[in-house]
Amino acid sequence: MKKEPLILSIDTSCDETAAAITLGRRVLSNVVWSQIAIHRPWGGVVPNLAKRAHQKHIDEVVDTALIEAEKQMETIDAVAVTQGPGLAIALEVGIEKAKEIAKKYNKPLIGVDHMEGHLLSSLARSPNPTKAEPSLRLKFPVLGLLVSGGHTELVLARKIGQYQILGQTLDDAAGEAFDKVAKMLGLGYPGGPIISRLAEDGDMAKFNLPVPMIHHKSLNFSFSGLKTACLYKIRKIGEKKRDKQFLKDFAASFQYALVQSIVLKFKKAIDIYHPQQVLLGGGVINNLYLRQQIKQVARQHQIPVLVPYSKKLFTDNAAMIGIAAYYKFLRKEFVKDIDRLDRKPNLSLEASIF
């Protein structure tokens, strides 16, 4: 059997400093140093704190990834790094580190799109499989649903590496809508987990919030109208009446409207493109209600859904970058001139990285 490539991957696209070692599609280590605690008082990512924290932790995170995987830098076959999309000054930290390692150890460098990482995160395999894994044969076309703090996208893959964005948000991302509504309700950051926890015991029919883009023909999303509708409702109710039950009901009603909007577009994409396989990725996929609704629709259409084997692969991490890099390695898509590799804060899955 041919030896699978051993890849060190780095991701510093936003508030996580992450490094991972992958062997083929197998995740040997996946280290994430989260800045959420640093940013919590501010309700979000703060730029110079982000850059400083990345610089402070990157070496330790890379070393830990190697130690946990029980590998040495000398034995890896390539270094991969996220080029974008993300916060420019954060991306730079990871790119500089990757270049430094690639030069010092004379390793090929692979530039990866963060969103391709999310898309392929379901293909990652655990280091110690508890049961025999079936061999993975993706059936194309594949429909990807990527929902995170900065992105909401429906992507069609005709093969790995060839993507078409079917729909995306026209304004706020789904995760951002969670954060902003949480802020309006005086809850903490990040808003997603807090709202979904509250929603568990809430009445989703209590508040009638508009399901976004319900009459819109495209596969695009829009959450800013829902955000404003929430603002009007919350204001009308007044601070005194906002007790615990109100928070639960409001969270459930908001979550319902947002998820319905995503499910509606997801269903529409299935009807138009007849995918043979669905891949889910991004931090908001952590939302159980969303996942259940999506799986139900897929089941009705008899389309298998792949979800990452660990929750750590939903949110930003470097192992998913390693998976995308693995396929690039097989296609021999290496950076030609290491010095010229640059950050691409607005990178899109449709644009080739070269």
Site of interaction with another protein (CB under 8 A): 14, 39, 42-48, 51, 85-89, 149-150, 168-173, 175-176, 179-180, 183-184, 224, 227-228, 231-232, 345-346
Residue listed under structure tokens 């929603």: 199
Say which residues have a Cβ less than 8 Å from residue 316's Cβ, sequence separation at least 6. Answer: 11, 13, 14, 15, 16, 18, 32, 114, 148, 283
Q: How many CA atoms lie within 13 A of 248 on its CB side?
A: 7
Nearer to another protein, 96 or 179 (CB): 179
d(CA 315, CA 281): 8
- Helical spans, DSSP H, in 187-316: 191-199, 224-237, 244-273, 288-300
- Are 175 and 283 in contact by the 8 Å Cβ rule? The answer is yes
Q: What are phi and psi of 111, to 5 degrees?
A: -95, 130
Q: What residue type is assigned to position 266 of the chain?
A: F
Q: Which is nearer to another protein, 43 or 127 (CB)?
A: 43
Q: Which of 118, 185, 41, 59 is nearest to 319 (CA)?
A: 118
Q: Which is nearer to another protein, 72 or 228 (CB)?
A: 228
- State which residue, 180 or 248, has the beta carbon closest to another protein: 180
Shorter beta-carbon distance to another protein: residue 86 or 111? 86
Reduced to 3 states (helix: H, G, I; strand: E, B; else coil), residue 266 is helix
Residue 89 Cβ, how far from another protein at the closest point, in Å? Answer: 6
- Distance (Å, rounded) from C-alpha 228 to C-alpha 225? 5
Nearer to another protein, 55 or 64 (CB): 55
76 or 112: CB nearest another protein: 112
Alpha-carbon gap, residue 323 to 118, rounded angstroms: 10
Comparison of 180 and 328: residue with beta carbon closer to another protein: 180
Tell me how long the chain is. Answer: 354
Whole-number minimum distance, CB 159 to another protein, in Å?
Answer: 25
Smallest distance from the beta carbon of 48 to another protein, in angstroms?
3
Give least dist CB 324 to another protein, A: 19
Cβ distance to another protein smaller for residue 138 or 229: 229
Q: What is the dihedral of CA 267, 268, 272, 273, to 10 degrees?
A: -50
To the nearest whole angstrom, how small is the minimum distance from the Cβ of residue 236 to another protein?
10
Q: Give the residue with the Cβ less far from another protein, 37 or 132.
A: 37
For the sheet containing 78-84, what is the strand order?
Answer: 26-34, 16-23, 6-11, 78-84, 109-113
Least separation in angstroms between CB 35 and another protein: 12
Nearest to 94 by CA among 15, 12, 9: 12
In whole angstroms, how close is the CB of 126 to another protein at the nearest point?
29
Min. distance of Cβ 283 from another protein in angstroms?
A: 11
- Beta strands per DSSP E along the chain: 6-11, 16-23, 26-34, 78-84, 109-113, 142-147, 152-159, 162-168, 277-281, 305-306
